[in-house]
Structure formats: C-alpha cells, structure tokens
Structure 1
C-alpha cells in the first residue's frame, strides 16, 4: 500500500516574526474549475495547491505571504505568447485547413507570473519603497546553523508533455537572518527556459526587509553546453577510476615498502606522496583542470592546499640523493644533503595526511565544524 499523504503545518518564531509553512493536498477539480472562472482562465495548472502557503507575519499583524491563487492573478489570461517547438510543423501539415491558425481563447498557457508576494496587514505600517541596497550574498554564503527550513510547492504543470512550469517557495532561518526564495521556473522543450526569482532577506538587527526580483530567459538554441573537458563522460569516468586506483595502489605499495631496511621510510614517503598526487589528479577528469585548480585555491581550502604542496616538495627534497658530479662544497648541495633524512620524509607525510584530510572534508557541509567541536571537547 502507498503511504497516505498528510497535510502538514510548521511554525517557527524569529524574534517578532512568525514563519508558517502549510502544505496540503492538490486542489479538487470542482474547486479548480470555480477558481479558473474567477480568474477568467480556461484552465489551471495540473497540480494546483490552493491551500499551500508560506506566511511571514509580525507580532503587529503586518507581513507577507506567498500563495498560488495570488500568483495566478499575475498571469496574462488574455494572450498566449509562446508556441511549442512542433507548432510550425503542425501548422504546415494543416496549411489547407481553414481554421488551423485561429485561436479560440488565447491565454498564457505557460502560467508565467511575476508574482512577488502578497502584503498583509496595514499598508501604512508596511511600506514598499525602492532602494539601492542589495542583498548581501556573501553573508548568505557564510556557514550558519539552519534552524528552520521548508519548501512549499504552489503549482506545477507539465504543459501537455512539452516541458514544465512550476512555482515554489523556500525559506531558511539562520541565527542572524532568514531568507526566502520564490522561483517560477519554465522550460518549453526545444523553445526556451525562463526563471523569475523573488528573494527576500531580513537580518535580525534590521527594521526592514530587502526584496529583489530578477527575470532571466533564454532560447534553447542560444544555450551552450559547457563541458568540463573535451573528453567524453565515459572516458572521464574511466580516467577518474584509473587514476584513483593508481593512487590507492601507490599508498598500499608504500606501506609494504616501509619494512625494507634503511630505505623503507623514504620509499614509503615517495609512494605515499605519489598516491596523494594521483588521488587529487583523479578529480580533474570529472570537473576539468581549471575548475579543480580554482576549487583548490578557494579561501576555505587555500591553507590546506599550500601545506599539501609544501609537504610534497619536502618529500621530494628529503628523498633526493645528489650524484657524484656535484662538488660537496656547493651550498645547494649541502642543503639537499641536510634534507635527505628519513625523519623529515615521515614528517612531511604526516603533514600531507592532515592537509589532505582537511582539504577533503571541506567538500562536506559542516564537516569541519564537527571536527572542530570534537577536538575542542577532547582537549577540554
């Protein structure tokens, strides 16, 4: 038996604000027909969630909410502006028909809306004024605990198997602020892609909200597929697996060579380093060399990357044995002889291990914070 859908409502208090997210069933056909008549539209989206709502309300009664009914009121119900990719072929095949190009009741069948939310309460208390201030996206990128998150789907339609049209709203609350994203997404297969976004941001120490609206659109023919590399996906996956396997093999081989008398520690350091280089290089097959380098030198990974590169160079120097063609009185040769110590090679391997671990967990959300807490608990 399939699980029965149950309506849900979640509330969260953020200072004087109360955030409420309600998710219920799809609107029944009789209700949808009545609403379509009220909105003067031939039909509503296939999945219409009329009672789904995200409401943000102040203790004094004013606020803003996002619902499907008000969003559809912003749809152009008098003119259809987009034709599907096969429309030209369909009309050409029926060019002799007398009424093939007549539109009985035109309307925007993609349900494109520029809805930005519905204001609640006294308009004298809550005012909308233009501003040059923008939402600080850098603050939103900062890692903070997410105390409340909810996503509410308002409507969705598959456009008679010619694409998808949907409107949804997400909210997340952090200790310092809350952020709302209302997104209308449209894809008409072979024709265009369109996104209308409304972003709402409020910081705890501010007496106002910032609301930004953006609209982006592009024809499918103008879009370019930017691949990470010129290699095919299958080739890239094979390269990743092969390179990663070589890295693991080098690490295992280095562990086995560790027990060789005198030179074992140096051989372990060399093969362990080669294994790390191969492991890091394996991801270049998936994302491409340039993207890999950019990610390695991002601020969150910069220190780990530098320590890793210095440790690799340190292992190289500590494992280097100068030939007899060089005079021992040369300064650089003396430095190489000083570096050629098994203890230093082991030290650089340890640094590599911690740098590699710190680098790797940076790709896992909140992993570094968890490690820091564990270390602080152990040391306290």
Structure 2
C-alpha cells in the first residue's frame, strides 16, 4: 500500500553518540558538535534527529529543542556495558521511536532501523592494531565486515581511508560516500601572535618561542619521533621549547616519553601542558613557530587544518591521509625518520615559515562544517528515499 504524503516525507534519523567517553572527548565528539547544529538548520518539515546518548554524555550534546534524545544506560565511560546495550537495547528502543535511518559505527546484531548509514573514522583495528586493547581489536575485526555488508551507505572522510576500507573490508564501491571533515573557522583563525604568546606564557608556563604538538598521546601519534627530531634540531632551533598539548591517556607511554627526553638532554626544554579545552588550543597555534604532526597513521588529521586556519606553519607526515589534507600547504616528513622531521622543522622555523603562514588559511578555507553537514544530510535522505512501512 503506498505511503501517504505525510508519512513519505517523514525521516527520523538516530545518530549514535555512545561511542565517545564524555570524560575524555575524542575527535569524533568535536565532529558531531559541529555537524549536528549545521544539519538541524537544513532539516525539512517531517525530518528530525534523535541522538543516542547516556545520562553522562547528554550534557556534552546540548542542542536545545532542535533534536530529540534516546537515552541509553551507558556511553564509552563503560565501554563493555555500552557495547552490550547497543546490541541488546537498540532493536527494542529504536523501533519504538520510529527511527527510519540509523547512523552508527557498528551495526547492532539485530536490525534496528530500516536503513543503516555507517560512519567510519578510523580502522585502527587493522592499521595500528597495537594502539587498542586485544578485546576491542577482536570485537572490531569481527564486527566491521558484517557492518559493511549490512550498510546502505558508508561515510568516509578521506581517499586514504577509502583505500584502507577497500583493502581490509572489500566494500561495494557503490556504498562509499567520501565526505571530508572541516575546521571551525569561527574559532580557528589568524590572530595576534603576541597576545596569544602572552596567554600561553601566563597560563601554561611557556617561556620561549616554541615548536608545538597537539594530540592525545597515543604511540601511533609519534610524539616519540618528534622528541627525537627536536633533540636532533636543537642546535638549529636555539632557545625554542617543545610544547606538548594533549591528554596522556596511556600513562606508561607518557612516562617513556619523559624518560626519552631526559636521555636526549631536552627534558628541560619541553613543556607538558596536558589536555586543554578545544578553545584553548587556538592560542597555542597562533603563538607557535611551527606545528608538528608526525603521526604514523591518520584518516584525516583535523589538527592540521586547525593549525593552518590559525596561520601556523605545519610539518606533518608523508603517509596515509596527511598529504591529502595538507594539500601542498605543509612540509612533509618521513615519520619513521627523526632527521627528516628535524630538517622540516628547521625549514618551517626559517625560510619556509612565511609562505606556510600565508598558504595555510587559504587551504583550511576550503573545508567548512556547513558543507560537511549538507553532504552528510544528503546521504541520510538518499538512503531513506523509497522507504516504505
């Protein structure tokens, strides 16, 4: 029986936000806090978003009356219980809410909505398996292939990730939607370098001009390689410090980094800032002589764009998605070669600096959350088209 006009125009989308730890927000958290408000502005009559949250994560996703909420007992502060509830509760709860399209990372064991959009941001279970725990790795390696088969569309943020997905999951190319991420230009933009330096000096104890690293301290982010490069370039960098901004989620690894700095004789030249609110990072980008992002594997590399938008010269890796994101507006180095990183740091602090400061905002300006949101919403509409009940 054909749908009435009123029902065919309805589209209720559930967005799974449970995979983020509300006490340690990840890049995925910042992605959704930018994209959801942009998408809600574009909704047509009969279209609505329903966010899957826990009591602890809901305050971190406050969008007022523009969205609905579906409350689960746990988010990623209780990873195992969160995973269990996604599989057990979703087949009951989502149909009760009349959900037409589910946007998630892993498909529930039992089909929970007529249409499934899978949003993959990393494939660490395959590309950097030692970066995650064995149980999590096994779960993802078992779940990804099935999820890819069931998906109506799979959203990926770079050509590099597309290649990885095809290598490990062998997805039907017709399902893939390439949608780059973006940068918040209201927050990240060129500003007064002297004011920014005064801010980080007063609040965080930075004393000298500095080389900057911004990232959670996971081994694959390669802060180790940066410390070795900083030590190798020290004679050319003068009194510059290395400022490390980001939470130390692996306490043992952070201890190893500090021990390495001591062995290399640069411990007194490193400022360990720790995690800071996102809005504080712009002061570091504006004040830094160079931002270095020598990761071994990235599917997009959002901090690259944040630094560029803030007119900070960038040195990043010549592998995976980083050259794609940089788009010729950064210096590239071999992340496995400390001397390669060191050489590019020295260039960025010297003759290449002004060119990179000018080119960075131009490149970052090509990426907006409004465009990302519009294309993501189009995917929901595309898979929903023709849905019947």
Which category describes the TM-score, using the shorter chain as reference length? under 0.3
TM-score (norm 1): 0.24
Higher relative contact order (CA 8 A, sep 6+): 2
More helix by share: 2
Q: State which structure, 1 or 2, has the greater radius of gyration over its C-alpha atoms.
A: 1
More strand by share: 1
